[in-house]
Amino acid sequence: MKVSIRFIRFDAALQTVLMFFNTLFLLFSIFALINLYDSLAVLLLMYLQFFLGVYQLILSALPHLLLRKTLSPELYHFRQWHMGVSVLYVFIFILIDPFMGSWLGWAYIVFLPQSFAYFYYWLTVRDYYSRRDYLNGRATVFAY
């Protein structure tokens, strides 16, 4: 199944937005340590991550494993991991938060590791969007 370059650009832009908001969440979490946070902003970032995680869940379930044939193996496996973790984290908030009182403490426990992981991804794996990928004997240019 062939993927259009327009779809690849859309997906690359969406992943860039996701990395940007993960970095923002990481900064908000650091500021929270010195009581300079806005809890509404952190809550909005949490739900944005949830919807982007659901987007990745739907995308990875497309027929013929659309992204498996398009992305490099490292990037595909990273996105599978992130997709599962994003959805799992928000379900943890939905199920546990009514019984725990303060959701901000859970935000540190579950979102800081993911934010650090996405920052590491931004530093290491992001170049897969800007070079040729020779999977299955063909080259696809990932360009914005």
Nearest CA-CA partner of 121 in 92, 65, 79: 79
The pLDDT tens digits for 62-118 are 544 555 555 556 566 666 666 666 666 666 665 655 555 555 555 555 555 665 665
- Taking residue 118's Cβ as centre, other Cβ atoms within 10 Å add up to 22
Distance of CA 44 to the CA centre of its chain: 15
The pLDDT tens digits for 9-66 are 676 666 667 667 666 666 666 666 555 555 666 666 666 666 666 666 566 555 445 5
Cα–Cα distance measured from residue 102 to residue 104, given in angstroms and rounded to the nearest whole number: 6
Angle between helices 39-60 and 5-32 (to 10 degrees): 150
Cα–Cα distance measured from residue 135 to residue 36, given in angstroms and rounded to the nearest whole number: 46
- Listed in order, strand segments (DSSP E) in the chain are 132-133, 140-141
Is 41:28 a contact under the CB 8 Å cutoff? yes
